Amino acid sequence: MESIKTIVADGNEIFRHGLTSILREEGFDIVTDTDNGALVLTAFEHVQPELCVLSFNMPEISGIHLANKIIEQRPDAKILLLADDNTEDTLNNFLESGAQGLLMKSAHRIELMDAATKVAEGETYLGKVYSKMMTREYRKLTSYRKNKKSITRREREVLHLLIEGHTSTEIAHKLFISPRTVDKHRTNLLKKLNLKNTASLVRFALENKGNLEQF
One digit per residue, pLDDT tens: the chain, 215 residues? Answer: 578 999 999 999 999 999 999 999 999 999 999 999 999 999 999 999 999 999 998 888 889 999 999 998 898 999 999 999 988 888 888 888 889 999 999 999 999 999 999 999 999 898 988 888 877 766 666 666 665 557 888 998 898 888 887 888 889 999 999 989 999 999 998 888 878 888 778 777 777 665 555 55
Q: Produce one character per residue of 171-195: b if its CB has 16 or more CB atoms within 10 Å, e if not.
A: bbeebebeeeebeebbebbbebbeb
Contacts of 85 (CB under 8 A, 6+ apart): 104
| Count of other CB atoms within 10 angstroms of residue 90 | 20
Domains of the chain: 4-128 (3.40.50.2300), 145-214 (1.10.10.10)
pLDDT in tens, 136-174: 766 666 666 665 557 888 998 898 888 887 888 889 999
The pLDDT value recorded for residue 102 is 94
The span from the CA of 16 to the CA of 21, in Å, is 9
Q: Residues 21, 26, 31, 32: what is their CA dihedral angle, to the nearest 10 degrees?
A: -40
pLDDT in tens, 175-189: 999 989 999 999 998
User: Which amino acid is present at 93?
Assistant: N
> Measured in whole angstroms, how far is the alpha carbon of residue 82 from the centre of its chain?
12
